[in-house]
Chain A
């Protein structure tokens, strides 16, 4: 049994690449491998021409990861969390402090900088979670469902900020169940199911290539079916 099977992908620099699929399709496994959390038993991949087997530390310096859960210390303030995670990327001193203030401000959280995370709403936590992954201006940013469970305002703030990051040269690899959001946000999409890539292309080419499809959701249902995908 393989979580992923014969997955072959090229993601170009500067792309916003959407990885879509039902529950248990292998999206999180693929992202975890690309982030260096899980070692593949077979096959290989490179990021910016580097592989984990030889350049683990170099890769970790150029990637940013925004996990699905709020990976923050609830009893630390937003500022304390960001100072800590920023320092783990090698940032320090005034650079770190300024970067934290700048990003908190951009995402509308500066006035809550010294409040403990456990007092934040879901949307606020998501935004801090995002900032913790981008403080070091990563070349490649991995986002695992970054807008799940947040209000529309927070979702828009996150997507808008990600677009700014992308315009500044960050390649974004993103998973989501929000197909409309992905259709609007991503320039390339791969649909993954049962560990295989079923389709890959721009949202428009995928819609055009699928009979009777009006949007990405129709493409998704057409490729993955209507059966429930409950996984334990």
Chain B
């Protein structure tokens, strides 16, 4: 039996060696994928970026508030401020048109008299408070307060920008406006009391600090590489479903599978041969991607993947994720009758598994029902096991439940494939 398994492995490797397209899918595409996605994700999220997003600022206020907004946006490394197009000042109309056409992703319109009206409103409020506290001159005749309309800073977004970008920009601007208002309120109180010793401390009393986990007494700062490499490596490992299912469908259409059924060899030996071969492929893919992330990434401006002390456990997770992908590929190849069925279905189902597994959107950010579904995705088990090892520094014992689920998935899918095949051959 061992010799038969060995010859099956040799045959599978020979078939792969002579399939250039298959080799590209297996080895080159995952590398291109992990490099491309990590570069994109890294530039999106890193705070010190070479690429700044140009935004339009239309200033109808031309006073202290608009100047503060301008200064704060300038200080923010994410944006570059554009106030003129073709050497002409921008109006709200021009800004809206440019943003709607997608030439700019954002326009901020600061309304007329914002600084003056804000100050007037704060003055009214402060005066009111001071009066109620009995600090004002009781003889002075109080004027009826002037009605000050609420002011609106308008934001125009390119309809194509993602919701996460919009939310993040709106949150930053909201914070900036709150700070300006707070500062103005403090200053107004200070002016009301008019004394030197009433200098208010304007710095935030409550601050926050992120406590970064330490491994071997060294802080491990999660970055886009630590997140992306495991996620996209897993995605690539699961893409083995496509060449594997095509391999099985081809065996059926060529008649070699039928010949094997008439030989004194069980279907299990054939499946073991394929499983071992494709597990080796998965591990080669995994080590190639890890090597690229460690050695190539620093040369293209990305942080290197830090796998210090984790390579063995990461290899275990990669191997068991590979088993799950292989089981799925065997099932798909067994059920599909043609390559036209197996290839698109394989590709689409891997993308769906990735989506519900949390490769793109974290599971905690999904709706409740999707969170439940995510828990049943083998890609989620693999991803969580990778994160456990790489970012949460857990031991082997703690990843046993997740890798057991991955192995169980392999056993179940392979058993269904064997059962289906046996049933199909019974007339």
Task: Spell out A's residues near B (CB within 8 Å).
Answer: 3, 29, 35-41, 57, 60-61, 63, 65, 67, 69-76, 80, 83-85, 87-90, 92, 116, 132-133
Contact = CB atoms under 8 A, between A and B. Distances in A.
Interface in B232-284: 254-256, 258-265
B254 A36 contact: no
Nearest to B269: A88
B14 A88 contact: no
Interface string B6-24: 0110110011001100000
Contact of A88 (B15, B19, B264, B425): B264
B256 A72 contact: yes
Interface of B: 3-4, 7-8, 10-11, 14-15, 18-19, 254-256, 258-265, 425-427
23 contacts: A3-B427, A37-B258, A38-B426, A38-B427, A39-B425, A60-B264, A65-B259, A70-B254, A71-B254, A71-B256, A71-B258, A72-B255, A72-B256, A73-B11, A75-B15, A76-B14, A76-B15, A76-B18, A83-B7, A85-B263, A87-B7, A88-B263, A90-B4
A75 B261 contact: no
Given A39-B425, A76-B15, A88 B265 contact: yes
Contacts, number: 79
A194 to B, nearest CB: 17
B255 A67 contact: yes
Given A38-B427, A39-B425, A89 B256 contact: no
A69 B254 contact: yes
Contacts of B258: 37, 67, 71
B19 to A, nearest CB: 7
A91 to B, nearest CB: 10
Contact of B259 (A39, A67, A80, A87): A67
A87 B7 CA distance: 7
Q: Which of B3, B18, B263, B265 has the most CB of A within 10 A?
A: B263
Contacts of A60: 262-264
A36 B262 contact: yes
A63 to B, nearest CB: 7
Nearest to A76: B14
